Chains A and B, each alone.
Chain A
Amino acid sequence: MNSSTVLLAHGVGGRSDLPISPWDAAWSGATVLLLSFAALGLLWHRPRLAKAALGRLAQGGECFVSSLGRIFRALILALFLVVVTGSFVGPDNTTSNLTPVTVYIVFWVGGPFLSAIFGPWWRAVSPWETLGSLIDKVRPQNQNQPPSWLTSGWLALLPISLFHWVELAYHQGSSPRVLGWAAILYTATLMAMAWRWGWKNVRNAEGFGVLFSLMATLSPVFKDDQQRLRVRFPFTGLATLVMTPSLVAIVLAVLGGTTFDGVTRTTWWADLTVGESGWSLTTIRTVGLVWVVMLVGLAYQMASRLGGRLTGDRSFAERLGASLVPILLGYDLAHYFSLLLLEGQDFIRLLSDPWGKGWDVFSTANHLVNWTLVSTTVVGWVQILSIVGGHVVGVVFAHDRSVELWSSRTALRSQYPMLIVMVVYTMTGLVLLTG
């Protein structure tokens, strides 16, 4: 049997956070949510946030950002090549290879957080973006009409779903070789499509870019239509975010995946899968993953259908989809905040010896993980606050959107089904964190 066959939570790391005190957290979360909703209904009758979303100009920021972007574009491309190469030449072992920690922690966990802070950084530095625009330069007069399945935006759901499956269900998901092949396959597919239809059209199929850009609407930094750098209050970007059905589906898929990750951390799940390994474990986890994603998605769809019936608005789900984005950030923070800060430290060690050749490029090859960097109390509070906070922000924006469109009373009524879903999400999210 392969030595890389290590059963790991969310792809990497066998540590999880201490359970927070069970029902208290869930009840207080639900209460906060209901109270904030009541306050909104009483006090918030006009849309206020769309104006705030405009922000103000950051003078001279573009120059700084674009030069920074150029440097990081090169660095990220180099890191991408080093990591992909390392996944094959480096040791075939989860903990001594750079690839798993880079993919599952630095990229997948760090990416959304960085987007929420610094805006659409991934679109600016992504290796696929770099390679794709390179292809556009080589083939500038691309006249091929892109097919509708590409332009619809639904294709972005595919890489995200596959990524989740490899991370959370596939028993070999933490193998560097598997990740290496996945990266090569993904890059090759994207580039082949870019060759045929031009990167501008294929960009929408780069799921990670789509997801990270979505998270970037939470950021206080953004670029307006004229590519000028502006700053605004964090989260206010949501007020002007236009969601499409495919974007809603992507957010729900990630939300469901994160929830499933929480489920697999429970003792209930551990007992359910005790003794399982290999493909039988993969089967069980696949079914579980699909189930949880379906439940999360169905709950949202049903609530928005009800809300749509109450308001006579057919695109209710998309209209309020923006409120899912802060919830996703909250879930991400709650589940992966400590993973990033603790297990993520391994990136520092492995970066010095990316190919397992005994190098010490940045003299960090002996860096040990400082497991006490954040205390368990801090982690617990971050978990509760981020889940509740994410939902409160979501409720606020959903309400702001509603009063923009409908009379205050209709708006409020349309929100009831969604509020129930939010309360259910909050409580589920918190209960899962209680082990």
Chain B
Amino acid sequence: MKNRLFVVAVLSLVTLFAAACGTIEEKTEDIPVVTVMDHDEMTEDTMTEDTMDEDAMDHDAMDEDAMDHDAMDEDAMDHDAMDEDAMDHDHGELVDVSGLDSPPTVSVTAVADGNGGAVLEIEVSNFTLVPVSPPVAHQPGQGHAHVYVDGASVAMVHETTVAIDDLTDGHHNIRVTLATNDHREYAIKEKAIAASTSVMVTGGQSAVMADHEITLEIMGGEIMGGIQRLEMSTGEVVAITVTSDIDELLHIHAYDLTLELMAGMPATLLVEANIPGVFEGELHHAGFQVLSLEVS
């Protein structure tokens, strides 16, 4: 009996110790910043966006919470493509050009056309853009750009001005990567060479009405106000808007949805509850739970 009491005592001490050190701040390892962007352009872009934001608010407060119908349809219907996408993301075929003295760079700006679309200006350096078709063999320093909207691939282009139409009202994340002629992506230290920006689209299709809304704020490696929980019924739609102070990736398990977050820019993910159960939403890089959806 004495032995057992001793074990319990030791355990209690360990527990106390762990509780005391529970807040051992594990410094988040430096998360590589994906955005490659000229400073000037960044400011310009942010400004454009801000003004638009206000515009939207003036016109119709609804627009603010608008989200992207397109992305959702794709998630729901084209699960295959989604899976592949996710895989690409994790271990996609990359062509490492870390060794180059002057590796290729890319930058992108996006301006809403006020008509449900956006115009992208892509700039590259140390890189030659060539048409996707007819297909040609891989040539170092040569290729085309892949354009993603809200994580979904929408275009492969060699032009520097690209118009994207049929977007829904609201925030959209635009990401451009540099691809080889055989569609692998150029990368530095296993990170695809990419540029991202965000655009506030107006005058497009009005977005799906969400039945529920969740707003998450991530700051200093913590989720403000604790884990957000939501009980919902199958068939309902929830709009999850997340703002993070660092680049992150929100991942909803089982639904296998991801939302790319750029530092300081709110992004919205629409989830149509079609699988019953309790699902965790987790920050991919930081590795902790921020969200719990209870679908019944």
Listed in ascending order, the chain A residues whose CB lies under 8 Å from chain B are 1, 3, 5-9, 13-19, 91-93, 95-96, 171, 265, 267, 270-271, 273-281, 283-284, 287, 290-291, 294, 298, 301, 338, 343, 356, 366, 368-369, 371-372, 375-376, 435
Contacts and interface: CB of A to CB of B under 8 A. Distances in A.
Contacts of B285: 1, 5
15 contacts: A1-B28, A7-B288, A9-B280, A15-B277, A16-B278, A93-B91, A271-B227, A277-B286, A277-B287, A279-B24, A287-B14, A290-B14, A291-B11, A375-B276, A376-B296
B220 to A, nearest CB: 10
A267 B294 CA distance: 12
Contacts of A95: 86, 256
B69 interface: no
B222 interface: yes
Contacts of A279: 24, 26
Contacts of B31: 1
Interface in B255-280: 256, 274-280
Contact of B253 (A5, A14, A277): A14
B18 A356 contact: no
A362 B58 CA distance: 57
Nearest to B22: A284
Interface string B36-76: 00000000000000000000000000000000000000000
Contact of A96 (B14, B91, B278, B289): B91
Nearest to B12: A291
Nearest to A92: B91
B214 to A, nearest CB: 15
B35 interface: no
B254 interface: yes
B90 to A, nearest CB: 5
A15 B275 contact: yes
Closest 4 CB pairs of A and B: A14-B253, A277-B287, A371-B275, A15-B254
Contact of B287 (A6, A16, A294): A6
A51 B279 CA distance: 48
Contacts of B251: 6
A376 B277 CA distance: 7
Nearest to A8: B253
Contacts of A277: 26, 286-288
A15 B226 contact: no
A282 to B, nearest CB: 10
B61 to A, nearest CB: 32
A356 B87 CA distance: 10
B223 interface: yes
Contacts of B254: 13-15, 343, 369, 371
Contacts of A267: 227, 229, 292
B101 interface: no
Point out which of A17, A273, A277 has the most chain B C-beta atoms below 10 A from its C-beta.
Answer: A277
Given A13-B254, A267-B229, 17 more contacts: A3-B91, A3-B284, A6-B251, A8-B253, A13-B253, A14-B254, A19-B294, A95-B86, A96-B91, A270-B289, A277-B286, A284-B18, A284-B22, A291-B15, A298-B8, A343-B254, A356-B91
